[in-house]
A and B are shown apart, each in its own frame.
Chain A
């Protein structure tokens, strides 16, 4: 829900005690799940700053894990998640780093993918780094995430493909490692892109990786 909705001040229905440290943590986990998509057997959470110091009393550790396993912010299971998980190996690390946002986390799944995000208040979140690439995903829109070789014309080629499917682009966020290096693009859409559309982008020359990231409910 956008900030303009009255439901931004009379919801979410959630398990307590903190919208930023509990609901935000669950949503960060859910978002990582939407990005990683595959099943997994191992996860490590690196909690930074306020997440590290007060996370235990706010159930931040439980929330992150529960979200990653697909439980919603109001699921009473969150409280007892540690007793219910058998086949996933999980660990936590606590770090103070003033260069990072006060409530921030790195989620490392199966030693394969590192997803970093912040809980920015009132349950709102943003994913800002995936495997070293700057991204900008807040879970309020369905998003196409792509990694590609930085070169002229990529943005217009991709937006042409999206336009052919009559989908409106809400926002566009690009970043790159260096000129001609590796670049990332996050395209927020008003309606979700189908697999056919993402396949078309996937088959473009110099596109390394594309995925549809579903928005959070």
Chain B
């Protein structure tokens, strides 16, 4: 792809007078030597798989192999039925759907890696929950997911999207920026606002470590999906209000990369530091019979 920075992307949208998703689908069609319709169909398949993962996750209480996680998602609708969440129904759905997907992932259910499996709950939760509540048609959801895709792709051209490379910044953090971009697009934001949402989301996850207990995609990964899905909404809302990041998106991505390099290897998916080395984590490790 010729577009390697957010600056490039913005210039393309201005020059060609097109939305970000249009550029994304045209670039993708050119790359795959196919039509835009074929690309949109493939995106739709991903969207359907995301909805299915949410649906399956909503009702299951099956535990993970470690037997620690898998029964939190069902607690949310139970409580919300008694008393609505302070932030209203969209918040209720976003947190529930994020947990549903992340729990479905840990029990070896079928999910869409977005960008990774550990961060698979964030983009679907935001797109599906907001679309249901705001009655956003499917074609706009596809536009949103395409926007998320090109945002993730531009970031991944600079930083490998792996906890082992740049901590959770590069997984749940990037997922949150992708979700913020999708949401801004779906709610009618301009290309400039979409990119502002990316900057705002990323700036506020810098330094996020990857310290999974026992090396499993469970603690703290599952619940983090719910937190960063909500984080994406904050970024999109501020961007749609015209709030601008003083640091441009490309420089924020550079910072994310450098912060990843400065981060101790103990905090980058090695489970040798952070939450993974707490007293409780070590006890869990012993119970599971894992040798570090």
Return chain B residues, CB-CB under 8 Å to A13. Answer: 45-46, 49, 110-112
Asked if A74 meets B110 with Cβ closer than 8 Å, knowing A9-B161, A10-B152, A13-B46, the reply is yes
A76 to B52, CA, bound (A): 13
The answer, among A6, A15, A58, for a CB contact under 8 Å with B217, is: A58
Which parts of B42-96 form the interface with A (CB within 8 Å)?
42-43, 45-46, 49, 64-66
B interface residues, tally (CB under 8 Å): 54
Q: Does A23 contact B (CB under 8 A)?
A: yes
Binds B, one of A48-56, A110-118, A136-144: A48-56
Residue from A5, A54, A79 in contact with B215 in the complex, judged by beta carbons closer than 8 Å: A54
Contact of A10 among B110, B145, B216, B291 (CB under 8 A): B145
Per-residue CB contact flags for chain A residues 58-93 toward chain B (1 = under 8 Å, else 0) read 110010000000000010101100000000000000
Assess whether B108 is interfacial by the CB under 8 Å rule: yes
Contact between A6 and B46 (Cβ–Cβ < 8 Å)? Answer: no
Which residues from chain B contact A11 at a C-beta distance below 8 Å? 46, 112-114
Minimum CB–CB distance from B198 to chain A (whole Å) comes to 13
B117 at the interface (CB under 8 A from A): yes
Q: Is B116 within 8 A of A122, CB to CB?
A: yes
Query: A4 near B: Cβ within 8 Å?
Result: yes
A9 near B117: Cβ-Cβ < 8 Å: no
Stretch at the interface among B8-16, B24-32, B228-236: B24-32
**Which residue from A8, A12, A18 sits with its C-beta under 8 Å from B153?**
A8
Taking residues whose C-beta sits less than 8 angstroms from the other chain, chain A's interface range is 35 or more
- Among A18, A53, A121, the residue within 8 A (CB) of B160 is A121
Q: Does B290 sit within 8 A of A, measured CB to CB? A: yes
A10-B123, A13-B110, A17-B108 given as contacts; is B145 within 8 A of A53 (CB)?
no
Within 8 A of B (CB), among A6-29: 6-20, 22-23
Contacting residues, chain B, for A62 (C-beta < 8 A): 108
Contacts of B65 in A (CB 8 A): 56-57, 59
Digitize A29-60: 1 where CB-to-B-CB distance is under 8 Å, 0 elsewhere.
00000000000000000000010011011110
B178 in the interface (beta carbon within 8 A): yes
Question: What are the residues of chain A within 8 A of B292 when measuring CB–CB?
Answer: 53
Residue of A nearest to B24 (CB): A6
**Within 8 Å of chain A (Cβ to Cβ): is B146?**
yes
Q: Are B149 and A9 in contact (CB under 8 A)?
A: yes
Per-residue contact bits, chain B 109-131, to A (CB 8 Å; 1 contact, 0 not) = 11111111110100100000000
Which of B99-107, B133-141, B187-195, B245-253 lies on the face that meets chain A?
A: B99-107
CB distance from A80 to the nearest CB of B (A): 9
Across the interface, do A6 and B146 meet the contact criterion of CB distance under 8 Å? yes
B151 → chain A closest CB, angstroms: 8
Contact partners of B165 in chain A: CB under 8 A: 121
Expressed in whole angstroms, the Cα–Cα distance for A23 and B146 within the complex equals 23
Q: A192 interface residue, CB < 8 Å from B? A: no
Q: Closest residue to B147 on the A side, CB-wise?
A: A6
Are B49 and A9 closer than 8 Å at their CB atoms?
no
Please give me the residue from chain A that is nearest to B175 by CB atom: A9
Distance, CA A2 to CA B156, complexed state (A): 12
Would you call A196 an interface residue if the criterion is a C-beta within 8 Å of the partner chain's C-beta atoms?
no
Residues of A within 8 Å of B64, CB to CB, are: 17, 57
Compute how far the CA of A11 lies from the CA of B112 in the bound complex, rounded to whole angstroms. Answer: 5
Q: Which residue of chain B has the shortest Cβ distance to A74 in the bound complex?
A: B110
Whether a CB of chain A sits under 8 angstroms from the CB of B164 is: yes
A10 touches B117 (CB 8 A): no
Do A16 and B107 form a contact, CB below 8 Å, given A54-B290, A121-B160, A121-B164?
yes
The answer to whether residues A50 and B215 also contact, given A10-B112, A20-B162 and a CB cut-off of 8 A, is: yes
Contact call A16/B104, Cβ cutoff below 8 A: yes
Contact residues in B for A56 (Cβ distance below 8 Å): 65
Interface flag for B256 (CB, 8 Å): no
The CA of A5 and the CA of B31, in the complex, are separated in Å by 7
Q: What residues of A have a CB within 8 angstroms of the CB of B115 in the complex?
A: 8-10, 122
Do B108 and A22 touch (CB < 8 A)?
Answer: yes
Whether A3 contacts B117 by the Cβ 8 Å rule is no
Q: Which chain B residues have a beta carbon within 8 Å of chain A's beta carbons?
A: 1, 24, 28, 31-32, 42-43, 45-46, 49, 64-66, 104-118, 120, 123, 145-146, 148-150, 152-153, 156, 160-162, 164-165, 178, 214-218, 271, 288, 290-292
Binding site for B on A (CB under 8 A): 2-20, 22-23, 50, 53-54, 56-59, 62, 74, 76, 78-79, 102, 121-123
Chain A to chain B: the 6 pairs with minimum beta-carbon distance, closest first: A6-B149, A16-B105, A9-B152, A54-B215, A9-B115, A79-B108
A-B contact list, 5 entries, CB within 8 Å? A4-B31, A11-B46, A14-B111, A20-B162, A53-B290
Contacts A5-B153, A17-B118, A18-B217 supplied; 5 other A-B pairs, CB < 8 Å = A2-B31, A6-B150, A9-B149, A57-B66, A74-B49
